[in-house]
């Protein structure tokens, strides 16, 4: 690599970094809800981006970076203790969410919209358990103990709630996917 090529690469990298790092961090943080994990993913993405800059033909740097962050967040979440159904919802949400929409949503707005929909369509027992899990951030085990229910009953009620909300509208799949990972 010549000196001029290196300088051009560095200028392009710095411009892309300055234009995208904050939005990428917010995107990763909104998915993972963990500052350190979000920072680590952004750092890894930009290291990889630097290494690949001359080797691959990237047409849209922003789209490429958002896709890379999305993929790394999905890998990270697979190691979280999500139920199989929660993970399925999240993966569907990742396919449906437009990068720009995710950045614009705030957790509070998403939670309120899902809460309203949940109150409209969920049976009382199902709603109570859903609220404890996603709004009071209780674990399945804690809910089972508090309600004197088996863990499988709590899991079934959560899955029932998610299926009912999912059946309503694709928009709610997006909201649920974000809500699940933000909990």
pLDDT digits (tens, 9 = 90+) for 54-93: 777 778 888 889 888 888 887 887 777 666 666 666 666 6
| Domains defined along the chain, listed by start | 3-78 (1.10.1740.10), 84-182 (1.10.10)
Q: What pLDDT does 24 receive?
A: 87
Contact between residue 173 and residue 89 where contact means Cβ atoms under 8 Å apart:
yes
Contact between residue 33 and residue 181 where contact means Cβ atoms under 8 Å apart:
yes
- Reduced to 3 states (helix: H, G, I; strand: E, B; else coil), residue 134 is helix
Kindly state the tokens that stand for 182. Answer: 């933000």
Q: What pLDDT does 138 receive?
A: 85
Is the pTM of the predicted complex or chain greater than 0.85?
Answer: no
User: How far is 92 from 148, CA to CA, in rounded Å?
Assistant: 32
Mean pLDDT for 17-33 is: 84
Q: Has residue 104 got a pLDDT over 50?
A: no
Q: What pLDDT does 117 receive?
A: 82
Query: Which residue is it, tokens 């000196």?
Result: 3
Q: pLDDT: is 62 or 101 the higher one?
A: 62
* Residue 115 CB-density burial (10 A; 0-12 exposed, 13-18 middle, 19+ buried): middle
* pLDDT confidence bin for 120, thresholds 50/70/90: confident
Q: What pLDDT does 14 receive?
A: 92
DSSP H helix total and E strand total for the chain: 10, 0
Q: What pLDDT does 96 receive?
A: 55
Q: pLDDT: is 162 or 148 the higher one?
A: 148
Lowest-confidence region among 15-24, 43-52, 141-150, 167-176? 167-176
Q: Has residue 41 got a pLDDT over 90?
A: yes
User: How far is 161 from 152, CA to CA, in rounded Å?
Assistant: 14
* pLDDT confidence bin for 15, thresholds 50/70/90: very high
Kindly state the tokens that stand for 142. Answer: 């804690």
Q: What is the DSSP string of 88-131?
A: HHHHHHHHH--HHHHHH--HHHHHHHHHHHHHHHS-HHHHHHHH
Q: Average per-residue pLDDT in the chain? A: 78
Which of 77, 61, 63 minimizes the C-alpha distance to 28? 77
Q: What pLDDT does 168 receive?
A: 63
How is residue 69 annotated by DSSP?
A: H
């Amino acid at each position: 690599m010549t000196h001029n090529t290196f300088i051009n690469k560095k200028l392009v990298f710095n411009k892309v970094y300055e234009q995208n790092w904050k939005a990428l961090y917010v995107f990763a943080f909104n998915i993972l809800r963990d500052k350190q994990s979000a920072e680590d993913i952004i750092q890894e993405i930009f290291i990889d981006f630097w290494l690949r800059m001359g080797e691959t033909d990237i047409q849209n740097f922003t789209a490429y970076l958002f896709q890379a962050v999305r993929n790394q967040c999905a890998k990270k979440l697979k190691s979280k203790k999500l139920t199989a159904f929660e993970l399925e919802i999240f993966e569907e949400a990742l396919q449906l969410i437009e990068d720009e929409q995710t950045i614009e949503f705030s957790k509070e707005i998403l939670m309120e919209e899902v809460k309203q929909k949940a109150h409209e369509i969920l049976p009382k027992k199902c709603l109570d358990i859903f609220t404890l899990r996603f709004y009071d951030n209780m674990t399945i085990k804690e809910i089972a103990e508090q309600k004197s229910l088996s863990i499988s009953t709590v899991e079934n009620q959560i899955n029932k709630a998610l299926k009912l909300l999912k059946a309503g509208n694709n928009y709610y799949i997006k909201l649920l996917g974000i809500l699940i990972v933000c909990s």
